[in-house]
Structure 1
Amino acid sequence: MSRHDLQPKADQPHVVRATVGWDRPLQTFFAQVFFRTEDEPDEGEALIWLGTEPGEMLTPEAVIAVVAPHVEMPPDLAERLNAEMRQTTGMKDGRHQAAAKRSLFGSIH
């Protein structure tokens, strides 16, 4: 799994951070945006969280579009995410990952 923590834009004081990455076991990119809340003013709460289901977010551009309004975007982020996905091509689930997938989804695919 890859993970990139991104810094909020200056005009987004209610955003603590955002995270994007590639989840190989779920075969999806993911995006999270953490907003300040009364209960969590420093850590924030992930009020936007996509990419928790198998194959939900299939392209780096999809997750970048989710977080772009809120954070400073590195110009090469899509390229890095694509490279991280390609590095996992052909990798198989380990015994524990396969068991978790069967338990959660009824299948390892």
Structure 2
Amino acid sequence: MSRHDLQPKPDRPDVVRATVGWDRPLQTFFAQVFFRTEDEPAEGEPLVWIGTEPGELLSAEAAIAVVAPHAVIPPDLCRQLTADMQSSIGIEDGSQQVAAKRYLFGSTH
């Protein structure tokens, strides 16, 4: 799994951070935006979280589009995310990942 933490846009004081990455076991990119809340003013809570289901976000561009309104996007982020995905091609799930997928999704795919 890869993870890239992004800084909020200067005009978004309600955002603590945004995160994008590649989740190899779920074969999906993911995107999170952590918003400042009364209970979590410093750490924030992930009120936007997409990419928790197998194959939900199939491209780096789709994950970036989720966080773009909230975070500063580095110019090479798409390339980095695509490389993260490509570096995991051919890696198989371990026994615990297989068991978790069967439990959560009813299959290993």
Instruction: Give yes or no for TM over 0.5.
Output: yes
Show the 5 A alignment for 1:60-79.
60-79=60-79
SS at match of 1:71: coil
Q: TM-score, normalised by structure 2?
A: 0.98
Where structure 2 has 5 or more consecutive residues not aligned to the other structure, the ranges are none
Q: Displacement, 1:106? A: 1.0
Q: Displacement, 1:90? A: 1.1
Matched residue, 2:17: 17
What is the CA–CA distance in structure 2 between the aligned matches of 1:76 and 1:25, rounded to whole Å? 24
Show the 5 A alignment for 1:26-45.
26-45=26-45
What is the CA–CA distance in structure 2 between the aligned matches of 1:51 and 1:64, rounded to whole Å? 12
Amino acid aligned to 2:62: A
Q: TM-score, normalised by structure 1?
A: 0.98
Number of matched pairs: 109
Q: After the TM superposition, which segments of 4 or more aligned residues of structure 1 sit over 4 Å from their partners?
A: none
Where structure 1 has 5 or more consecutive residues not aligned to the other structure, the ranges are none
